[in-house]
Amino acid sequence: MSLCSVEEAILDLQAGKMIIVVDDERRENEGDLVMAAEKVTPEAVNFMITEAKGLLCMPMTTKKAFGVKYFSSSSEYTEGSLPTAFQIAVDYKIGTTTGISAPDRAATIQALIDPKCTANDLARPGHFFPLRYNPGGVLARAGHTEATVTSVKSETCILLASYVKSLRKTGHGQDA
């Protein structure tokens, strides 16, 4: 693994590869495993949850996060020193079981990017967490959510990505 330019990372995302997005050492100082939502498969989800071991989330633009499909959480951001705009967790109801398996989570990701998906297709609360992106991008909030959405903004990639926090074998956050 090596560092690459933003342009190279975007090309990797468009090709269906996973990348690691790291933040500043003065912030969380950790990396998130990121993949374009349109490229996600059950195998990719399984890799993310078994190897990175963190919480699987999907940063979404404000328009998507507040669209008819999603309900906001009761507060704008979680509490804490580095708040995140978690939305109410969802599961796709069609053709899935409990929502927790890798195939069910991959189906939920695909449903969330499908313009034909409606609120009736999603169970709440579920096992998959949408995150609301700050429309000001990384200049307004230097978080993984904003970096991830900024990375996949292009005509060939849907403006959503899935990521999972990377954890050590001990369960603690993986330093960047």
The answer to whether the CB of 9 falls within 8 A of the CB of 34 is no
Each residue's pLDDT tens digit, 3-58: 888 788 888 888 999 988 776 666 666 777 888 888 999 999 999 888 887 788 88
| Least confident segment among 39-48, 114-123, 156-165 | 156-165
Distances (CA, A) of 150 to 50, 109, 128, 143, 160: 26, 18, 21, 11, 9
The residues spanned by each domain of the chain are: 6-166
Answering whether pTM is above 0.85, one says no
Give the confidence band of 102 by pLDDT, cuts at 50, 70, 90.
very high
Q: Which residues pair with 175 in a beta bridge?
A: 30
For range 126-143, the mean pLDDT: 74
Output the six-digit token pair for 10.
């975007």
Closest residue by Cα to residue 6 from 131, 163, 152, 175:
152
* Helix boundaries (H) for the chain: 6-14, 42-47, 62-65, 102-113, 144-152
CATH of domain 6-166: 3.90.870.10
Give burial (CB, 10 Å; 0-12/13-18/19+) of 77: middle
Average pLDDT, the chain: 75
The answer to whether the CB of 114 falls within 8 A of the CB of 141 is no
CB atoms < 10 A from the CB of 136, how many?
A: 9
* Coil, helix or strand at residue 143: coil
